[in-house]
Chain A
Amino acid sequence: MTELTELGVAQIRDGVAGGDFTAVEVAEAFNANVAAAQEALNAFIIATPEKAIEAAQATDAKRAKGEALGKMGGVPIGMKDLFATFDVQTTAASHMLEGFKPQYESTVSQKLWDAGAGMLGKLNLDQFAMGSSNETSYFGNVISPWKRNDGGNAALAPGGSSGGSSAALAARLCPAATGTDTGGSIRQPAAFTGTTGIKPTYGRCSRWGVVAFASSLDQAGPMARSVQDCAIMLEAMAGFDAKDSTSLDLPVPNWEAALSGDMKGKKVGIPKEYRVDGLDDDVAKSWDDGIAWLKDAGAEIVEISLPHTKYALPTYYIIAPAEASSNLARYDGVRYGLRDLPDGANLQDMYAATRAAGFGPEVKRRILIGTYVLSAGFYDAYYTQAQKVRALIAQDFAKAFEQCDVILAPTAPSAAFGLGENVDDPLKMYLNDVFAVPASLAGLPAMSVPAGLNREGLPLGLQVIGKAFDEQGVLNAGLALEQRAQFAAKPEKWW
């Protein structure tokens, strides 16, 4: 029998249901991997082995009684520490919320527990989901399990902000994990670690109980090691939630059942603006591979234009910080979380001290940017203008989708970089999301699937962007790529 920790969501679900192994056995196996890797990888902020076992026992008991086990029955997962979990510390990887135990459960995590999943722990991330390398976490960097094949031992970034999720998946610490994607935070870490993740259409997954970064962009999604696993988990996570006014009031399709890698009759758009000058050779090659694979799957390839692509990143870095500056105002030391009250401090002093101590440098940078772009005299030049450009970017996609069913592009402009390589250059860091951000601004479903390894032996991801609400089209194209990429590489265990 294969090791249980090599199994994915579908295999565990079916194996538990079929009696090949018990849910408790699965949970124990993953709990052991989590514990063994914690020191080296730092993928979790806290582990909750007892929660995983508890859920597994419930699943096993249900099975014994012959009851239905749910979409995620017996599957232990990692929970990005941006989702509020009842009475379990929820930090957004910040000092501000260190020790904060919500007395509520996010809608998405509750849906997963209701579907039979169990929680292995709370996964590390960039602080308040702001970052592309997981280096902004108050609880330390997550180390990617991947190493370059140059014989060196450089610690690599697992991507961000869902870097705990991606690292844990690649290192077999969990078969699936939740992610959130504001401007690439599911797709880029998936690409960096040879894993799979989908950001659904904005509004598919409730934002209720997810610590907010940028409300008009934040969207939860599944991360796993296969397209099918993503489809299963997304079914469990998605659905209308009356508690989120921006939630989509649409039925959740049965994505898993309708999965098909057959692309006959489908048109795949290749956006010429993504073929930027100086695009990494290996990235360009993997993109060409992807085009060939989808052709092979029966698709017709068409060149499309997304003319406002070059404005996407600046637009994103106005809108996201603007919303963040306001969303993070609630962390003021008054009601919960960190309070820094120097001797003789008045209210203003308390705010200043608390926020100075509670937020890391990247969070502060974005609050400052956001405050600036919303301030009197600059609002129209920045925020209003950015909203107009955002509308143009969405229009670009709408026009493109008149000619094609899905769009294929690289997920990120490079493979994983070394920790510390980009920390002093925020602009270079922000460029990581240049291919991911446009779909976020347009609210479109987009996923990353592993395409292969670059010359350094590091994974590269391919991104599929679909029409609004057409997660099925995205998953199917992703499956077609997956079937042909035959990505089987995994990091050699060194931890």
Chain B
Amino acid sequence: MSTYRIQGATGDWEVVIGLEVHAQVTSNSKLFSSSATAFGAEPNSQVSLIDAAMPGMLPVPNRECIRQAVRTGMAIEAQINKWSRFDRKNYFYADLPQGYQISQLYHPLVGEGSLTIEADEKAGIPADKVIGIERIHVEQDAGKLMHDQHPTMSYVDLNRSGVALMEIVSRPDMTSPAEAGAYVAKLRQILRYVGSCDGNMDQGSMRCDVNVSVRKPGEPFGTRTETKNVNSVRFVMQTIEHEASRQVDVLESGGKIVQETRLFDPTTGSTRSMRSKEDAHDYRYFPDPDLLPLELDDAFLEACRASLPELPDAKRARYEGELGLSAYNAAVLTADVDTFAWFEALLAETASAQGKQPAEVAKQAANWLISEFFGALNKLGKSLEDSPISHEQAAELLALVGKGTISGSIAKQVLETMFETGDNAGVIVEREGLKQESDTGAIEAKVDEILAANADKVAQYREGKVALFGFFVGQTMKAMAGKGNPQVVNEILKAKLG
């Protein structure tokens, strides 16, 4: 249980949070038409007769959108309704050509499910927590009004009109901004794993309606407000913080919370009223008579299930168990699709380059990826997606380390050169003569030289000043231009120094 409380003048208040997430379904065409869905296209270039609601046009459900919503439902272990239906939500607005949105009120495609947010002591989440998901339904997005194109008129861009959205409705199971943030992040992670939504919150592919109420511990739910279209995890958390304190202030000064729709202002981090329940639309929902009920057969469901990838929780457990990674590394590597995809490709190639099982090289690959490679990318301000080197190239570098051809510290230097030149590791090592010296004879000769030149220190060492060992290693490595195999150098030094 979260310990998040708002400290009011009259005592502590609990916050109750429910989220409705609108996630744009990844598909080439819209929910009921064949128009393209690409982001950022020229206004009104992706509008069919159906999207513009020309007279006599009829919607035809896009199988792919339904498939993606079903797969998403399966990923949150939800009940999939084999019989569902589309309803019309009627209201007038210039971005809504039909005068109604086709949605699913009465019989949604996906029923009860859940996801688990992980414990995060620092964030105030003491233990893993299951958040209930009430339903996922499929609906059309609206178009977009543009108010900055003309001094007295607004323009309409219908590119988004009819694009498929999943509305994912949580239970009011969250009790702190951190939990809500973790929920959105986890949901986004699952959507991206499943491939049903790209999760690009800055492009509006994922938007949250945030329902917040406050109550004294043990009391029934308070009246909630709904803050619309919040488009980042941070803003979701800010919305809750602001809205909860505002509600406490209102209640403690003797006021009442009005059930209303509010807007979040990212510049001030605060929310403001948009419309109250009294001005709420009467949407006159009724079943869309242009569409038959959606009936899913077992073969379709089976195909949906079979197409599901390994999901975040399972992958993390496997990384820890099968691959023996630390909990931290497993969490980092499974956080996002791009990351695990890179890691798994690297792992496969590293294993084959070294002729080993993946589990034998997993730690090496994970450590290198997290501590070396991410750091190097960060320095360049790049992400995995635009990494200057491929995983094949990275695997070659790791294989050179694994086989003892170069040392870890030389590998850093090689990676830098790879980033600069794009050349393969082997080529660089060869060209710059960076091969590690593992020949005991050569190393012995160098060690003998160093010991002879530093007879005084040898004597001190032998008298018990063992801290000098590092000095001898350093001198030897320096003499070998860093290419001596550190393990062999150590062994020989130890033997010679007695």
Contacts and interface: CB of A to CB of B under 8 A. Distances in A.
| In the complex, the 9 A-B pairs of residues with the closest C-beta atoms, listed nearest first | A329-B99, A215-B289, A374-B284, A216-B289, A330-B53, A209-B56, A211-B55, A376-B282, A215-B290
A374 B99 contact: no
Interface of A: 83-84, 90, 92, 97, 100, 102-104, 106, 207-212, 214-216, 242-246, 322-323, 325-326, 328-330, 332, 334-336, 347-348, 351, 371, 374-376, 379, 383
A374 B55 contact: no
Contacts of A336: 52, 54
Contacts of B225: none
14 contacts: A84-B56, A103-B49, A208-B57, A209-B57, A211-B56, A242-B60, A245-B59, A329-B90, A329-B98, A330-B99, A332-B99, A334-B97, A347-B93, A379-B284
B55 A347 contact: no
B287 to A, nearest CB: 8
A97 B286 contact: no
Q: Which of B49, B60, B156, B284 has the most CB of A within 10 A?
A: B284
B156 A334 contact: yes
Contact of B55 (A84, A243, A334): A84
Contact of B60 (A103, A243, A325, A334): A243
A102 B54 contact: yes
Given A212-B56, A245-B60, 15 more contacts: A90-B55, A92-B55, A104-B49, A210-B56, A211-B55, A211-B56, A215-B290, A244-B60, A245-B61, A325-B284, A328-B99, A329-B99, A330-B53, A330-B99, A334-B156
B453 to A, nearest CB: 88
A89 to B, nearest CB: 12
B55 A330 contact: yes
B88 interface: yes
Contacts of A90: 55
A100 B55 contact: yes
B284 A371 contact: yes
Interface in B234-291: 282, 284-286, 289-291
B292 interface: yes
Contacts of B384: none
Contacts of A102: 54-56
Contacts of B285: 374, 379
Nearest to B32: A245
Contacts of A104: 49, 54
B216 to A, nearest CB: 32
Contacts of B97: 330, 334-335
Nearest to B49: A104
A336 B92 CA distance: 16
Nearest to A210: B56
Given A104-B49, A216-B289, A208 B282 contact: no
A246 B292 contact: yes
A92 B53 CA distance: 16
B1 interface: no
A104 B90 CA distance: 26
Nearest to B284: A374
Interface of B: 49, 52-61, 88, 90, 92-94, 97-100, 156, 282, 284-286, 289-292
A323 B289 contact: yes
B56 A374 contact: no
A245 B292 contact: yes
Nearest to A352: B92
Contacts of B286: 322, 326, 374, 379, 383
Nearest to A384: B286
A246 B282 contact: no
B143 to A, nearest CB: 10
A48 to B, nearest CB: 19
A212 B98 CA distance: 12
B45 to A, nearest CB: 15
Contacts of B292: 245-246
B289 A97 contact: no
A326 B54 contact: no
A351 to B, nearest CB: 6
Contacts of B60: 242-245
A343 to B, nearest CB: 11
Contacts of B52: 335-336
B289 A329 contact: no
B236 to A, nearest CB: 30
A276 B56 CA distance: 37
B289 A214 contact: yes
A334 B54 contact: no
A376 B284 CA distance: 7
A335 B99 CA distance: 12
A375 B55 contact: no
Contacts of A215: 289-290
Q: Which of B52, B53, B58, B291 has the most CB of A within 10 A?
A: B58
Contacts of A208: 56-58
A137 B55 CA distance: 17
Given A242-B60, A334-B94, A329 B290 contact: no
Contacts of A211: 55-56
Contact of B90 (A207, A348, A374): A374
Contacts of A335: 52-54, 97
B391 to A, nearest CB: 43
A245 B55 contact: no
Nearest to A242: B60
Contacts of B53: 330, 335
Q: Which of A90, A100, A328, A335 has the most CB of B within 10 A?
A: A335
A219 to B, nearest CB: 13
B4 to A, nearest CB: 36
A93 to B, nearest CB: 12
Q: Which of A100, A323, A329, A371 has the most CB of B within 10 A?
A: A329
Given A330-B98, A332-B99, A334-B156, A207 B56 contact: yes
A216 B49 CA distance: 21
B196 to A, nearest CB: 23
A348 B94 CA distance: 10
Nearest to B156: A334
Contacts of B61: 245
A277 B306 CA distance: 64
A245 B99 contact: no
A466 to B, nearest CB: 22
Nearest to A211: B55
B58 A332 contact: no
B100 A326 contact: yes
B58 A245 contact: yes
Contacts of B290: 212, 215, 245-246
Contacts of A326: 88, 90, 99-100, 284, 286
B282 to A, nearest CB: 5
A332 B55 CA distance: 12
Contacts of A214: 289
Given A207-B58, A208-B57, A335-B52, A245 B100 contact: no
B282 A347 contact: no
A214 B90 CA distance: 15
A205 to B, nearest CB: 13
Given A97-B55, A375-B284, A329 B92 contact: yes
Nearest to A348: B92
Q: Which of B49, B99, B100 has the most CB of A within 10 A?
A: B99
A18 to B, nearest CB: 37
Contacts of A374: 90, 284-286
B223 to A, nearest CB: 20
Contacts of A207: 56, 58
A103 B289 CA distance: 25
A104 B50 CA distance: 11
B291 A245 contact: yes
Nearest to B287: A387
A326 B92 CA distance: 10
A102 B56 CA distance: 10
Contact of B94 (A243, A244, A347): A347
A196 to B, nearest CB: 26
B284 A243 contact: no
